[in-house]
Amino acid sequence: MITDTENPVLRVAPAAPAEAAAHFRASLAFHADVSDVAAALAAGGDPGFVVLDSRSTEAWDQGHIPGAVHLPTALIPGQAARLLDRAVPVVTYCWGPGCNGATRAALALAELGYQVKELLGGFEYWAREGFEFETWEGRERRAADPLTAPRQGDDCGC
């Protein structure tokens, strides 16, 4: 039998259920899922939030979420008030899970008084899940990566 001290998963004991619930509830308050954002935008009308791409102009030109506001993180302090309404929540994204640009953008916006969430997976997962995106040449869509998105018409069940 493996003891807790030998088991790398249980070397640090799991949190108490109430503490875990508080943590995961808070996580949902800070993060948005790519498919949820896509569904809200596709429903038409006002989704109740604005999407903000915090990457460079070169990255924006290669592809971005349709309707997103482009505001590189470094420019947020000087330009956020001109481009964003403080009463409207903001969902930030950058390239993907290997980049903390969306986190830094979300922090900068929160420090300026905006309600903000970070898009899990960023632009990488937007494209990998097969959602339409815009480039400097027009709109594109790639086939969904079967490892990141359910088959067309299927629900991942989560």
CATH of the domain at 89: 3.40.250.10
Residue range 2-43, pLDDT digits in tens = 665 678 888 888 899 999 999 999 999 999 999 999 999 999
Task: State the DSSP code for 9.
Answer: T
Q: What is the pTM of this model?
A: 0.88
Report pLDDT for 29. Answer: 95
Residue range 74-117, pLDDT digits in tens = 999 999 999 999 999 999 999 999 999 999 999 999 999 999 99
Structure tokens given for 119: 């898009």
pLDDT at 55 over 70: yes
Task: Return d(Cα 10, Cα 79) in angstroms, integer.
Answer: 46
Report pLDDT for 7. Answer: 84
122 Cβ neighbours under 8 A, 6+ residues apart:
93, 94, 95, 96, 97, 99, 102
Residue range 142-155, pLDDT digits in tens = 988 888 766 555 55
> Is residue 2 a part of any domain in this protein?
no
Task: Return d(Cα 26, Cα 42) in angstroms, integer.
Answer: 26
What is the domain range of residue 92? Answer: 31-135
Structure tokens given for 12: 């640090």
> Is residue 145 a part of any domain in this protein?
no
Straight-line distance from the first to the last Cα atom of the chain, in angstroms, rounded to the nearest whole number: 33
> Is residue 82 a part of any domain in this protein?
yes
Task: Return d(Cα 144, Cα 132) in angstroms, integer.
Answer: 10
